[in-house]
Chain A
Amino acid sequence: MVILMMKLKLMKFKPFISSIIISFLLISCSDNKLSLSERSIIYCSEASPETFNPQLITSGTTIDATSNQIYNRLITYQGEDNKIVPALAKSWHVTRDGKMVTFYLRKNIAFHQTSYFTPTRTLNADDILFSFNRILDKSHPFHSISGGNYPFFQGIKFNSLVEYIEKINDYTVRFKLRHSDNSFLANLATDFSVILSAEYAGQLANKNTHHEIDILPIGTGPFKFKEYRVGSLIRYYRHDNYWQNKANIEQLVFDITPSNTSRLTKLLAKECDVISYPVAHEKITERSDLKLDSVTSLNVSYFGFNTNKEPFNNKLVRKAISFAINKQALIETVYHGEAEIAHSILPESSWAHNEKILPQEFNLKKAKQLLDEAGYTDGFTTDIWAVPIQRAYNPNAVTMAKLIQADLKKIGITVNIISYEWNTFLHRLTQGEHQTFLLGWSADHPDPDNFFTPMLSCSATNTSSNRTFWCNDKYDQLLQRALQTSNINLRKKYYTQALEILRNELPLLPIAHSKRFQARNKNVVGPILAAFGGINFYPVSKVNISYDNTIKSNNTKKMSVQ
């Protein structure tokens, strides 16, 4: 009986074993598989998005994953000089006093058709009204669905700027502003000002599942949402009725890989086509099949202080610390020399940058002296919160924190380094649980106001974007004045004055302006990175290497026959 059972067992195994062997043999000749992977792109990203609606956040990871993929905006940036060009709006008109802005919409712009929504109409003025009234109108049924915070819009005081939005006809909308604002169009062209579907929102409201609008997104962008597995992947398919030419790739997958080395391994093993924030740049450049992309992006990395908490409510302590940090060493170690020392929060490429402002000097003597003056002769103990993942402005915040720890030890300050998972980190920062923190800011548009207002204005302290909780009326007034004039010299003057206030008050210490890096397989072509804002996979395509080879070999055959 035993023998019989063994026999049966072996017989059962045989077909299984042979099928395994056959399947392994087949791996080597998988020309068919290329067809699917060739029409798709896998992007290894560094963290999970918080939501699928860019209106609700300021985090770059979420912008990368959503804005340019799922949505469009009324107007957008184009070209190297970052000209504002039409997108969903085919044209616009601003009255002479700058208080009325009218947008004329394109017709026949289709929304995504997915398993959870089938649109019955194309884009019209109602969608524009819905998208912005959700932010403006506190009694709007969708206003407080996902917490009611619109940090970018609160930061730029969108509510006090826009008096109302009206629908002139189905394809014309008018924004009535309370005062003229030079950055208004620039702000509408950012990745945050996306257009949602009012029809979809109506359906959700009928089903009483309002919250789904930010989890199962519907937009007009080149890709439509398919699925999201938390911490694992996001899957998009091409939007075939896109109002421009449809995208070249059919499937776009975000493979969420927080570990730097795993991302590099996946790139080398060809499991990812493109990876964000690569480490080991030399390793990538020495491989002939890979390419390292970089873009000089408008960003700043800084060491911020929670000015609500002891001892950082004392200006002298903040100054003492700023003298004690060796920025040059940070740039060499953390950025491998591929960044510039920040003179102020503004990068040198911004037109408002002023040459006269020099970087904070490194002077331990002065630091010690200031600390004595502040009454902390024996030093104190504090926490540094370091961004847990790679950012464009800071490739390795934990290493930076360690270097700062060593620097501050010299003036008697003991530092504990704290790091949480990305979303928890942001959440806790917003709650103001931190003492000091290493973070940064990547600009959303080229206007210098995008550095001043969201990072340090009083209005931004209520939202999550000013985590120093520093608030200075004079500074805010200067920013307001700068926005109300179109005289560029005058604006530059105001911004220089604002920078001087920052220099004196030091709610944060600017450290570096860095390049943003990305690595890809050479067969992925087309621009992905931009100088500001999120990545964009719409213009990307894949070159079929094997296909090219066959064409070449056919040609050579013909040649030889001739």
Chain B
Amino acid sequence: MLIFTLRRLSLFTFTMLLLTILSFSLSFLFPGDSVINLSGEVNATAAQLVELNLEYKTDQNIVIQYFSYLSHVLTGDLGLSMASQSLITHEIAILLPATVELSLVALLIAMFFGIPLGFFAAIRHNKRSDNIILSVAMIGYSIPVFWLGLLAILLFSINLGWLPSAGKISLLFEIESITGIQFFDILLSDSPYKWQAFRDASAHILLPACVVAIAPATIFIRLSRTSMIEVLQTNYIKAAKAKGLSFKQIIIRHAIRNSLIKIIRHVGLQFANLVTIAMVTEVIFSWPGIGRWLIESISQRDYTAIQNGLLLLSCFIFIVHILIDFIYAALNPLARDN
């Protein structure tokens, strides 16, 4: 386990180093002064600029410049957003939880529908219901998310008027941000309209989360189907059958649990994919998350936000991956040796 941990940590360190090199070189590739690109101080006076140049050691060679940038990053100084002139770390701290919240709810929805459907398809292997589930999954996987999002808004928000189309919650509710995860914030708040707010927030998250969930759900269907089919062909299932256990008992006691192990790792791998889909969906549903922020930064040519935002976001996804690896290793001793 120690070697496993060390291996993951060294991988993390080197990847992050490479990413910082990329982010650092971006400041030279973007138009404008590299110091301003790095710090985001667009309104700096001449005296402040001299100070910034000293801070980022621009008079010395490029390696030293890189290390001074690295020390800024390590101390948590990612500069100011050029567009809003507020700290990038501060902006990300507000926006990232919203993206995580959307992704987590979507992941739950995807698991809730995807895995049982996959199992059902495997049990009905090569029968009509299996084929229908598989083809629907294939269609779902192929639909581009931005198109699906617009279609969902058109149908459920505009034509039927069931669900809201934009934002996290109706603006009428004043919910103070404590954890950043809105559902927790609502429960922690002392607003007299707490439960109305909770319902409203649920209605707001439903549509974007379902849109985000479609692609991973179809992946879960296929994964759980394959994994269940494999398990059903193993000898211990055959033995259980021979012992006279009913089909229901076999599935519930043996097959489901064993096939879930294979899926759990993919759930983690799907998380990165999910965040990517969520970023596109955020733009369509005006969800105040990191994806919309990054895409807005691109259109506003906010270089500091682009390079440091990307750095922080990739760091976050990497950490999630490592955590999932650890959970998987804890669950499955066989994985520790790989």
The answer on A and B forming one complex is yes
CB pair A265–B157 under 8 Å, yes or no, is yes
Bound-state CA distance A42–B257 (Å) is 50
Bound-state CA distance A12–B95 (Å) is 27
Contacts of B257 in A (CB 8 A): 2-3, 6
Q: Could you say which of A13, A23, A36, A42 contacts B193, with CB atoms under 8 Å apart?
A: A36
Q: Could you say which of A2, A3, A37, A421 contacts B332, with CB atoms under 8 Å apart?
A: A2
Q: With A266-B166, A269-B158 in contact, do A32 and B171 touch (Cβ < 8 Å)?
A: no
Contacts of B300 in A (CB 8 A): 421
A235 on the interface (CB 8 Å rule)? Answer: yes
Q: With A6-B257, A37-B170, A253-B171 in contact, do A266 and B165 touch (Cβ < 8 Å)?
A: yes
Q: With A266-B166, A269-B165 in contact, do A23 and B199 touch (Cβ < 8 Å)?
A: yes
Contacts of B84 in A (CB 8 A): 230
- Mark out the residues of chain B between 134 and 163 whose CB falls within 8 Å of any chain A CB in the assembled complex: 153, 157-158, 161, 163
Output the nearest chain A residue to B191 by Cβ-Cβ distance: A36
CB pair B164–A17 under 8 Å, yes or no, is no
Q: Could you say which of A13, A33, A230, A268 contacts B199, with CB atoms under 8 Å apart?
A: A33
Contacts of B261 in A (CB 8 A): 2
B174 on the interface (CB 8 Å rule)? Answer: yes
CB pair A37–B172 under 8 Å, yes or no, is yes
Q: With A265-B157, A268-B157 in contact, do A6 and B286 touch (Cβ < 8 Å)?
A: no
Contacts of B157 in A (CB 8 A): 265, 268-269
Bound-state CA distance A5–B202 (Å) is 29
A255 on the interface (CB 8 Å rule)? Answer: yes
CB pair A253–B199 under 8 Å, yes or no, is no
CB pair A23–B202 under 8 Å, yes or no, is yes
Contacts of A253 in B (CB 8 A): 171-172
CB pair A262–B170 under 8 Å, yes or no, is no
Contacts of B161 in A (CB 8 A): 268-270
CB pair A23–B198 under 8 Å, yes or no, is yes
Bound-state CA distance A341–B164 (Å) is 40
CB pair B172–A251 under 8 Å, yes or no, is yes
The number of chain A residues touching the other chain, given as a range, is: 35 or more
A561 on the interface (CB 8 Å rule)? Answer: no
A212 on the interface (CB 8 Å rule)? Answer: no
A480 on the interface (CB 8 Å rule)? Answer: no
Q: With A33-B196, A230-B84 in contact, do A271 and B331 touch (Cβ < 8 Å)?
A: no
Output the nearest chain B residue to A29 by Cβ-Cβ distance: B199
CB pair B171–A233 under 8 Å, yes or no, is yes
Bound-state CA distance A20–B171 (Å) is 21
Output the nearest chain B residue to A7 by Cβ-Cβ distance: B257
Least Cβ distance of B135 to chain A in Å? 28
Q: Could you say which of A23, A37, A42, A265 contacts B158, with CB atoms under 8 Å apart?
A: A265
A116 on the interface (CB 8 Å rule)? Answer: no
Least Cβ distance of A105 to chain B in Å? 35
Least Cβ distance of A249 to chain B in Å? 11
Q: A-B pairs with CB below 8 Å: how many? A: 83
Output the nearest chain A residue to B171 by Cβ-Cβ distance: A253
A299 on the interface (CB 8 Å rule)? Answer: no
Contacts of B116 in A (CB 8 A): none
Q: With A17-B112, A27-B203, A36-B196 in contact, do A265 and B174 touch (Cβ < 8 Å)?
A: no
Contacts of B195 in A (CB 8 A): 26, 32
Bound-state CA distance A230–B174 (Å) is 16
Contacts of B173 in A (CB 8 A): 36
Contacts of A269 in B (CB 8 A): 153, 157-158, 161, 163-166
- Mark out the residues of chain A between 498 and 523 whose CB falls within 8 Å of any chain B CB in the assembled complex: none
Bound-state CA distance A496–B328 (Å) is 84
Bound-state CA distance A306–B198 (Å) is 54
Q: With A20-B202, A37-B172 in contact, do A271 and B167 touch (Cβ < 8 Å)?
A: yes
B260 on the interface (CB 8 Å rule)? Answer: yes
A24 on the interface (CB 8 Å rule)? Answer: yes
Q: Could you say which of A5, A33, A265 contacts B153, with CB atoms under 8 Å apart?
A: A265
Q: Residues 303-333 of chain B: 1 if any A CB is under 8 Å from the residue's CB, otherwise 0? A: 0000000000000000000000000000110
- Mark out the residues of chain A between 89 and 126 whose CB falls within 8 Å of any chain B CB in the assembled complex: none
Bound-state CA distance A32–B173 (Å) is 13
A30 on the interface (CB 8 Å rule)? Answer: yes
Q: Could you say which of B166, B172, B198, B332 contacts A262, with CB atoms under 8 Å apart?
A: B166
Least Cβ distance of A222 to chain B in Å? 18
CB pair B172–A42 under 8 Å, yes or no, is yes
Which of B171, B203, B206 is most buried by chain A, counting CB atoms within 10 A of its CB?
Answer: B171
Contacts of B200 in A (CB 8 A): 30, 33
Bound-state CA distance A230–B300 (Å) is 15
A232 on the interface (CB 8 Å rule)? Answer: yes
Q: Could you say which of A24, A30, A265, A270 contacts B206, with CB atoms under 8 Å apart?
A: A24
Contacts of A23 in B (CB 8 A): 198-199, 202
Least Cβ distance of A374 to chain B in Å? 36
Q: Residues 250-264 of chain A: 1 if any B CB is under 8 Å from the residue's CB, otherwise 0? A: 010101010000100
Bound-state CA distance A233–B172 (Å) is 10
CB pair B286–A30 under 8 Å, yes or no, is no
A40 on the interface (CB 8 Å rule)? Answer: yes
Contacts of A232 in B (CB 8 A): 288
Least Cβ distance of B261 to chain A in Å? 6
- Mark out the residues of chain B between 241 and 278 whose CB falls within 8 Å of any chain A CB in the assembled complex: 257, 260-261
Q: With A2-B257, A5-B331, A27-B202 in contact, do A271 and B196 touch (Cβ < 8 Å)?
A: no
CB pair B202–A271 under 8 Å, yes or no, is no
CB pair A27–B199 under 8 Å, yes or no, is yes
CB pair A36–B172 under 8 Å, yes or no, is yes
Least Cβ distance of B268 to chain A in Å? 14
Which of B112, B161, B196, B288 is most buried by chain A, counting CB atoms within 10 A of its CB?
Answer: B196
Further pairs besides A24-B203, A271-B164, A271-B165: 8, Cβ < 8 Å: A2-B257, A26-B195, A27-B199, A30-B196, A36-B173, A226-B174, A269-B161, A269-B163
The residues of A with any CB-CB pair to B shorter than 8 Å are 2-3, 5-6, 13, 17, 20, 23-24, 26-27, 30, 32-33, 36-37, 40, 42, 226-227, 230, 232-233, 235, 251, 253, 255, 257, 262, 265-266, 268-271, 421
For the complex of A and B, 10 pairs with smallest distance between CB atoms: A269-B157, A33-B196, A269-B165, A23-B202, A268-B158, A253-B171, A40-B172, A27-B203, A271-B164, A27-B199
The residues of B with any CB-CB pair to A shorter than 8 Å are 84, 108, 112, 153, 157-158, 161, 163-167, 170-174, 193, 195-196, 198-200, 202-203, 206, 257, 260-261, 286, 288, 300, 331-332
A-B contact pairs, 18 of them (CB 8 A): A5-B331, A6-B260, A17-B108, A17-B112, A24-B203, A24-B206, A26-B199, A30-B199, A30-B200, A32-B195, A226-B174, A230-B84, A257-B166, A262-B286, A265-B157, A265-B166, A269-B158, A271-B164
